[in-house]
Chain A
Amino acid sequence: MSTERYSFSLTTFSPSGKLVQIEYALAAVAAGAPSVGIKASNGVVIATENKHKSILYDEHSVHKVEMITNHIGMIYSGMGPDYRLLVKQARKMAQQYYLVYHEPIPTVQLVQRVAAVMQEYTQSGGVRPFGVSLLICGWDSDRPYLFQCDPSGAYFAWKATAMGKNYINGKTFLEKRYSEDLELDDAVHTAILTLKESFEGQMTADNIEVGICDASGFRRLEPSHVKDYLANIP
Chain B
Amino acid sequence: MSLLARPHYPDYSTAPVQHQFYPYADNGGSVVAIAGDDFVVIGADTRLSAGFSIYTRNQNKLFPLAKTTVLGCSGCWCDTLTLTRILKSRMQMYAQEHNKTMSTTACAQMLSTMLYYKRFFPYSISNVLVGLDNEATTLSGTAKRRFTKLGGSAGALLQPLLDNQIGQKNMEIVSKEPLSQEKALKILKDVFISAAERDIYTGDSVFINIITKDGIQEDKFELRKD
Contacts and interface: CB of A to CB of B under 8 A. Distances in A.
Interface of A: 99-103, 106, 109, 112
B106 A103 contact: yes
Interface in B93-112: 97-98, 102-103, 105-106, 108-110
A21 B106 CA distance: 40
B165 interface: no
A111 B107 CA distance: 22
A92 to B, nearest CB: 16
A234 B198 CA distance: 84
A99 B103 contact: no
Contact of A100 (B98, B103, B110, B141): B110
A109 B97 contact: yes
Contact of A102 (B97, B98, B109): B109
B44 to A, nearest CB: 25
B56 interface: no
A109 B102 CA distance: 14
Contact of B110 (A101, A106, A112): A101
Main secondary structure of the interface of B (DSSP, over half): helix
Nearest to A103: B106
Nearest to B105: A102
Interface residues of B, number: 11
Contacts of B102: 101
B4 to A, nearest CB: 61
A106 B100 CA distance: 11
Contacts of B106: 101-103
Main secondary structure of the interface of A (DSSP, over half): helix
Nearest to A102: B109
B97 A101 contact: no
A106 B98 CA distance: 8
B113 interface: yes
A158 to B, nearest CB: 20
B98 A109 contact: yes
Which of the listed residues A99, A102, A106, A112 has the most CB atoms from chain B within 10 Å of its own CB? Answer: A102
A109 B108 CA distance: 20
Contacts of B110: 100-101
Nearest to A141: B100
Interface string B157-199: 0000000000000000000000000000000000000000000
A101 to B, nearest CB: 4
A103 B98 contact: no
Nearest to B110: A100
7 contacts: A99-B109, A101-B109, A102-B106, A102-B108, A102-B141, A103-B103, A106-B98
Contact of B105 (A99, A103, A112): A103
Contacts of A99: 109, 113
B86 to A, nearest CB: 14
Contacts of B109: 99-103
Contacts of A102: 105-106, 108-109, 141
A-B complex: 5 closest residue pairs judged by Cβ atoms = A102-B109, A101-B106, A103-B106, A100-B113, A100-B110
A106 B97 CA distance: 11
Interface in B48-87: none
Contacts of B97: 109, 112
Contacts of B98: 106, 109
Contacts of A109: 97-98
Interface in B138-167: 141
Contacts of B103: 103
A100 B116 CA distance: 11
A100 B97 CA distance: 15
Contacts of B105: 102-103
A102 B106 CA distance: 6
Nearest to B141: A102
A130 B108 CA distance: 37
A87 to B, nearest CB: 23
Nearest to A106: B98
A101 B110 CA distance: 5
B98 to A, nearest CB: 7
A103 B98 CA distance: 13
B15 to A, nearest CB: 51
A103 B106 CA distance: 6
